[in-house]
Structures are given as C-alpha cells and as structure tokens.
Amino acid sequence: MNATPETRLDPRYSDPAAAAPPWSAAERLLAGAELFWISTVRPDGRPHVTPLPAVWSDGALHFCTGPDERKARNLAENAHVVLTTGTNTWDVGYDLVVEGDAVRVADDARLRELAAAWEAKYGAFWHFEVRDGYFHHGAGHAVVFSVAPRTVFGFGKGEPFSQTRWRFA
C-alpha cells in the first residue's frame, strides 16, 4: 500500500475556510478510536452493520470476530468492508469512513503482535492467546482480519465543516 495517499478537500461539502487535514492526523484518530462500526454485505445483498473494537497497526485496521458470526460469514462471500468511527454529534468532532477489503491474518507471529496491541489499547479484558492462526479468549476463538484503506473519507463537523478524501494507490 502507498503510505502517502492522494488528499483532496471536497469544496462542495466544505466551508471555504476549511483545509484538508494531513493523513497523519487521520491516522492518529484511527489509532485512538475505541469503537468502530463495521459494514459488510450478506450473501443476499442486504447490509449488515455492527460495532466492534479495532486496532490500527502498520497502515491497516485490524478486527477480530468469531468464525461463525454473521460478519465473518459475510466476508467469506464478499471481502469489501467499510469501518466507520467518530463522534455521535453533528456539529463537533471528526468522523472517518475507511473503505477496503478484509484479509484474514493467520500468521501466529503477526497475531501475537496484534494481540499485544489489543491488550495495550483496550486492557487486560482483551488478552488473547495465539495459536493455530486464531486469537483464543476463554472457551472461544476468533479470526483476525486486516483492512488496508483503499479510500478514507473524513468529515469535519462544526465550524468549519469539511469533507476530505484520502485515496491510496
């Protein structure tokens, strides 16, 4: 993935005083966000949206889910995904929408790095053991997915309102 995206402020949806934030500012927001909403597509074409925690690492968002959960079953059929985070207000804060493809992470060494990142971000409740390509937590196990952004939209709320697009090659 190209680490430096093409950045464009959309003047149609932005105050004349607005400026496009640098990608590094969006990365900080992605790294610090506690909750994301993931949107996947069911095999019959209907959307599915659910909240989940995610970790930003090495230029991608990472999330985990049980292999039999709806989002995992959807991703087995269609890897296109959108992850959204931000604030639940209309005039304060910044929202981000990350579009990309979910790719399974099954390498135990990489999973150990991600497990450490989860625990560092979310605390001991999110401690995972890693073996055989899965996160293990209690009696259950989870698959881990990585989403390298293809396009990210940023929505600045309040004065000045703005809409920025970061597109990766």
Is the pLDDT assigned to residue 3 strictly greater than 90?
no
- Catalogue the E-assigned strands of 19-79: 36-41, 47-52, 55-57, 60-65
pLDDT score for 66: 97
What average pLDDT does range 93-112 have in this prediction? 98
Distance CA 30, CA 36 (A): 9
Whole-number percent of the chain with pLDDT over 70: 99
Q: Residue 161's domain is classified under what CATH number?
A: 2.30.110.10
Whole-number percent of the chain with pLDDT over 90: 96
Instruction: Look at residue 1 and tell me if it is in a domain.
Output: no
Q: Counting beta carbons within 10 angstroms of the beta carbon of residue 121, is it exposed (0 to 12), middle (13 to 18) or buried (19 or more)? A: middle
Is the pLDDT assigned to residue 152 strictly greater than 50?
yes
Instruction: Look at residue 52 and tell me if it is in a domain.
Output: yes
Q: Note the pLDDT tens digit of each residue in 23-73.
A: 999 999 999 999 999 999 999 999 999 999 999 999 999 999 999 999 999
pLDDT score for 86: 97
Distance CA 22, CA 138 (A): 41
Cβ–Cβ < 8 Å for 114, 55: yes
Model confidence, pTM: 0.95
Report the number of distinct structural domains present in the chain: 1
Mean pLDDT of the chain: 96
pLDDT score for 99: 98
Is the pLDDT assigned to residue 1 strictly greater than 50?
no
Instruction: Look at residue 71 and tell me if it is in a domain.
Output: yes
Report how far apart, in Å, the C-alpha atoms of 98 and of each of 57, 67, 108, 142, 149 are: 14, 22, 26, 22, 6
Return all residues near 109 (Cβ < 8 A) that are at least 6 apart: none
Give the amino acid at 50.
Answer: T
pLDDT score for 139: 87
pLDDT score for 140: 93
- Which residue, among 138, 114, 129, has the nearest Cα to 53 in the 3D structure? 114
The range of the structural domain enclosing residue 130 comes to 6-167
Give the amino acid at 28.
Answer: R
